[in-house]
Amino acid sequence: MSELRKWAIVCAAGIALAANGAAAQQKELKIGYQPFPIQEAAIAIFERWGAKNNVKIVKVPNSYGVYVEKMTASLTSGSDQYDVIWHNDDWGQLWYKLLEPTNDIKGMEKVQPWGIQDFIFNNEQGQTTVVPMVHTLGAFFYRTDLVKESELPKTWADMVRISQKLQKEGKVKYGYVGGMSMNNTWFTWLWSMWTNNCDVLMPIFSRDNKVLAQNGFKPALDQPCMQQSAEFWWDAINTYKISPRGMPTYDRNEANAVFMAGDAAFTLADSYFYGVFNDPAKSKIAGKVSIAHFPLGPNRKPGDYVLWNDIWGWAIPKALPAERKKLAKEMLSAFLLDEEGQIQMWNKTGGPPPNMDVWKKIDDPFWRKIKELYLDVKPTVRGAYYFANWPGTHKAFSDVVTKAVIGKREDIPKVLKDGMQSVHDAATK
């Protein structure tokens, strides 16, 4: 019995040592990201790859409000806190010197060149520093149970008219709802400005930093097109009452909640919210949502529609040890080449996948609609600016237009003109 007991102890110790050895061999990749449906769906692809390759994927969520500041601090300190981080065109020029080039990752040859192979994410050697996660494009969503495709608004005035009609009939509480606060300006201010041939800086629609500098980073706040945009939103909230009174403070989540509750006929959101809008567990309007062209402002010719199509992506900090960079690149390559995973990501979220080979294997009504309206059309404007001071410029711009829309209508021209200096200073200092 004594010998048997010794043998059992030795076996148990051997098993424990083997288990510890296996655990020690397991590698790890830390992902810095914002908890968000499309990012969660992409990370699920990482996790499946990790399970097959004995790599533990550690998710490190960060709040959107502090994401850029936190990641910038991590990158500039040379920290190896993260192996892969969420990257966005909004801060492409802010980080490119701190990120690993990604041109050598297998699968990059399958992505659409628009948005990655130019000045936005390129370092000084002309190498891109991003791996696309998803195409991010603003989509004008509408309720198919309330508005027929043949009756969709083609202009701002149409949107007001249809919204008021639906409100009068008691079918909705509001016509249009959208995010309006800082970092949510795309869903009200920016799309309406762009559809009215307007922009944050002069010249309109230019994203060439040299051209912007030659023009002194002059804000467009004093232009008639900007006054029209501000007056349009003031009227939508206060005169026509087609938008919530509190909308100037709304972020995208608050606006989406109103839309999903069935309280609005129209909204603008990133296309990958299609999956959330049609999730019966989260949305009362599931199965009753589609997309259309943006309604045009008075300065845009009929039928000359506006769109943008940029990307969200992943990046690798340059300060990482070589072995961890190599492993991160292997994971991102597997992500790009996982066609089945990207199809699942599309089915779950409605986010157009980066691998263009996958585009040929998706065939559903929403995919055909998004390709027709957005993916197969050359974009009109970039979704952001690409100089280092853009985040601060965006904040200054948001402050000015918010002040304009919550004040008196007759004060709008003065508020916009007075705000010229603060936006200029944010862009240049």
Please enumerate in sequence order all residues whose Cβ is within 8 A of that of 417, keeping only pairs 6 or more positions apart, or say none: 221, 222
Considering only residues 91 and 204, tell me which one the structure prediction assigns the higher pLDDT: 204
**What pLDDT does residue 113 have?**
82
pLDDT digits (tens, 9 = 90+) for 292-313: 999 999 999 999 999 999 999 9
Q: In what order do the strands lie in the sheet with 174-177?
A: 174-177, 264-270, 138-143, 289-292
**What pLDDT does residue 18 have?**
47
What is the distance between the alpha carbons of residues 242 and 235, in angstroms, rounded to a whole number?
Answer: 9
Query: DSSP assignment, residue 312?
Result: E
pLDDT digits (tens, 9 = 90+) for 167-191: 999 999 999 999 999 999 999 999 9
Q: Cα separations (Å) of 227 from 105, 222, 267? A: 46, 7, 22
The count of other CB atoms within 10 Å of the CB of residue 20 is 10
**What pLDDT does residue 2 have?**
55
Helix axes 390-406, 224-234, angle to 10 degrees: 60
When pLDDT is cut at 50, 70 and 90, the band that residue 89 belongs to is: confident
**What pLDDT does residue 5 have?**
58
The count of other CB atoms within 10 Å of the CB of residue 335 is 27
- Is residue 383 within 8 A of residue 308, CB to CB? The reply is yes
Please provide the average confidence, as pLDDT, over all residues in the chain.
93
What is the distance between the alpha carbons of residues 239 and 163, in angstroms, rounded to a whole number?
Answer: 13
Phi, psi (rounded to 5 degrees) for 60: -120, 90
- What mean pLDDT comes out for the span 127-132? 95
| pTM of the predicted model over 0.75 | yes
pLDDT digits (tens, 9 = 90+) for 206-229: 999 999 999 999 999 999 999 999
Same fold, 2-136+310-375 and 138-306+389-428: yes
Residue type, 232: F
Percent of the chain with pLDDT over 70: 94
Helix axes 322-337, 37-53, angle to 10 degrees: 110
- What mean pLDDT comes out for the span 247-270? 97
What is the distance between the alpha carbons of residues 382 and 310, in angstroms, rounded to a whole number?
Answer: 7
**What pLDDT does residue 24 have?**
54
What is the distance between the alpha carbons of residues 62 and 85, in angstroms, rounded to a whole number?
Answer: 10
What fold, for 138-306+389-428?
A: D-Maltodextrin-Binding Protein; domain 2 (3.40.190)
Pull the structure tokens for residue 213. 């500098």
The count of other CB atoms within 10 Å of the CB of residue 79 is 12
Considering only residues 337 and 19, tell me which one the structure prediction assigns the higher pLDDT: 337
What is the distance between the alpha carbons of residues 178 and 153, in angstroms, rounded to a whole number?
Answer: 16
What fold, for 2-136+310-375?
A: D-Maltodextrin-Binding Protein; domain 2 (3.40.190)
- What mean pLDDT comes out for the span 321-330? 98
Give me the residue spans of the domains in the chain.
Answer: 2-136+310-375, 138-306+389-428
Per DSSP, helices labelled H in 261-406 are 274-277, 322-337, 339-349, 356-359, 365-370, 390-406
Pull the structure tokens for residue 60. 């490190």
- What mean pLDDT comes out for the span 407-424? 98
